[in-house]
């Protein structure tokens, strides 16, 4: 039996399959956090490992001028008949394979050599990304231990299909309410129908979304962000013989990083003109692509990576809000994340690992 040399590369694809086998639906990340912590302590002895709740942070303290933060969430959405990993040749099927056990595997493999990187490196494994903002582990870390997540560039291993997805759009939910006056529906003219009153605004919103695609694009740093505004809920009426006195809609607007939350809110309110009350339910800022930032430019340029805007909101905006340029780069197709058909390929996981290793100076050049 030949002893394994320490330089034998970790099989990140096999590791991803192992991680998919560890259930970690949001709020149930303890087992996978334990696994990550134990593995880091065993395979990356040069790193300082900190456990806070089910968040695990492993950091080098090599005294480099710049620090790269690499992050990934440990949780998955609920299983959808795909809880058990299934490897077919070089394809890994199963819950979290793309979002984002593949990325967690890449981070664990990078950890083994992070002490040799040309930057200081912080590896951040965190809980509860797939659920309400209040539970988000990265939010907890920024609030309680910001020094653990500070750095000069953050890369999140969200599934991007090997693209760099730069920045992200902001998201804003508002409720618009329309009032009316109840009356018997046999004499509706004695009242005022709140649902009928909402019709104009609904038509305006539907027409706004039906505009040509080019009118929905907003360019930032040369990237075209496609904005959107959707009515995601509507409710009105109390009884089948009563003219309704209230109708409420919830609108979700996704806005390019050209706009602040306040600007996005104002633009949305213009489209909702006619509503009696508009209430902001929640708002998360957009994150700029920061393509002119030297570290971002180096990451993209040296490795000649393809870049596109991130349309969904991700935790890159949390880094951006703390002044840290951030981007998404990971394995797996974002379109199939959260679907029962979720999968990731060996090529994707190994490719993601190779790019990051080269950027950190701990791997061979990517061809």
Which residues are part of the catalytic machinery? Answer: 75, 129
Tell me how far apart the alpha carbons of residues 123 and 72 are, in angstroms, rounded to a whole number.
8
120 versus 227: smaller Cβ distance to its own copies: 227
206 versus 297: smaller Cβ distance to its own copies: 206
86 versus 233: smaller Cβ distance to its own copies: 233
Both tokens assigned to 73: 């969430």
Binding residues (CB under 8 A) for its own copies: these are 169, 171, 173, 184-190, 193, 195-200, 202-203, 205-206, 209-210, 213, 226, 228, 230-237, 239-244, 247, 249-250, 252, 254, 281, 311-313, 335, 338
44 versus 247: smaller Cβ distance to its own copies: 247
Q: What are the residues facing 120 on neighbouring strands?
A: 67
Residue with tokens 């809920």: 233
Shortest Å distance, C-beta 242 to its own copies: 7
Backbone angles phi, psi at 355, to 5 degrees: -60, -50
User: Whose CA is closest to 332, among 76, 81, 152, 133?
Assistant: 76
Shortest Å distance, C-beta 230 to its own copies: 5
Tell me how far apart the alpha carbons of residues 144 and 138 are, in angstroms, rounded to a whole number.
10
Shortest Å distance, C-beta 315 to its own copies: 14
Are the beta carbons of 191 and 244 closer than 8 angstroms? no
- Count other Cβ atoms within 10 Å, centred on residue 184: 11
Those residues whose C-beta lies under 8 Å from the C-beta of residue 181, and which sit 6 or more positions away, are 190, 191, 192, 243, 245
263 versus 335: smaller Cβ distance to its own copies: 335
User: Whose CA is closest to 33, among 92, 84, 104, 103?
Assistant: 104
Shortest Å distance, C-beta 32 to its own copies: 24
Tell me how far apart the alpha carbons of residues 120 and 151 are, in angstroms, rounded to a whole number.
9
Shortest Å distance, C-beta 163 to its own copies: 15
State the angle between helix axes of 12-20 and 346-360 in degrees (0 to 180), rounded to the nearest 10.
120
């Amino acid at each position: 039996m030949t002893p394994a040399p320490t330089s034998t590369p970790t099989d990140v694809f096999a590791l991803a399959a192992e991680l998919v086998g560890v259930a970690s639906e949001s709020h149930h990340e303890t087992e996978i956090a334990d696994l990550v912590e134990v593995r880091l302590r065993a395979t990356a002895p040069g790193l300082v490992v900190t456990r806070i709740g089910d968040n695990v942070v492993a950091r080098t303290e090599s005294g480099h001028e710049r620090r790269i933060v690499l992050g990934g969430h440990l949780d998955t959405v609920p299983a959808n008949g795909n809880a058990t990993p299934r490897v077919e040749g070089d394809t890994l099927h199963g819950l979290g394979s793309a979002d984002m056990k593949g990325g967690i595997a890449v981070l664990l493999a990078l950890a083994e050599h992070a002490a040799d990187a040309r930057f200081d490196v912080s590896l951040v494994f965190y809980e509860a990304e797939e659920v309400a903002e209040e539970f988000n582990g990265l939010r907890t870390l920024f609030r309680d231990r910001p020094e653990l997540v500070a750095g000069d560039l953050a890369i999140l291993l969200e599934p991007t299909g090997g693209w760099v997805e730069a920045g992200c759009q902001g998201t804003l939910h508002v409720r618009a309410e329309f009032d009316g006056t109840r009356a018997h529906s046999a004499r509706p003219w004695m009242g005022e129908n709140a649902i009928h009153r909402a019709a104009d605004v609904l038509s305006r919103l539907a027409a706004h979304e039906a505009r040509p695609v080019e009118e929905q694009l907003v360019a930032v740093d040369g990237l075209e962000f496609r904005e959107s505004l959707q009515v995601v809920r509507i409710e009105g009426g109390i009884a089948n013989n009563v003219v309704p006195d209230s109708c409420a809609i919830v609108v979700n607007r996704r806005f390019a990083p050209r706009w602040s939350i306040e600007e996005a809110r104002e633009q949305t309110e213009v489209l909702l003109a006619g509503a009696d009350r508009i209430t902001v339910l929640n708002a998360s800022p957009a994150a700029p692509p920061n393509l002119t930032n030297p570290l971002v430019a180096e990451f993209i340029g040296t490795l000649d990576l393809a870049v596109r805007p991130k349309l969904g909101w991700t935790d890159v905006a949390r880094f951006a809000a703390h002044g840290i340029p951030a981007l998404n780069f990971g394995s797996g197709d974002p379109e199939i994340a959260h679907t029962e058909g979720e999968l990731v390929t060996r090529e994707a996981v190994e490719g993601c690992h190779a790019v990051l290793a080269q950027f950190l100076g701990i791997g061979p050049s990517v061809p």
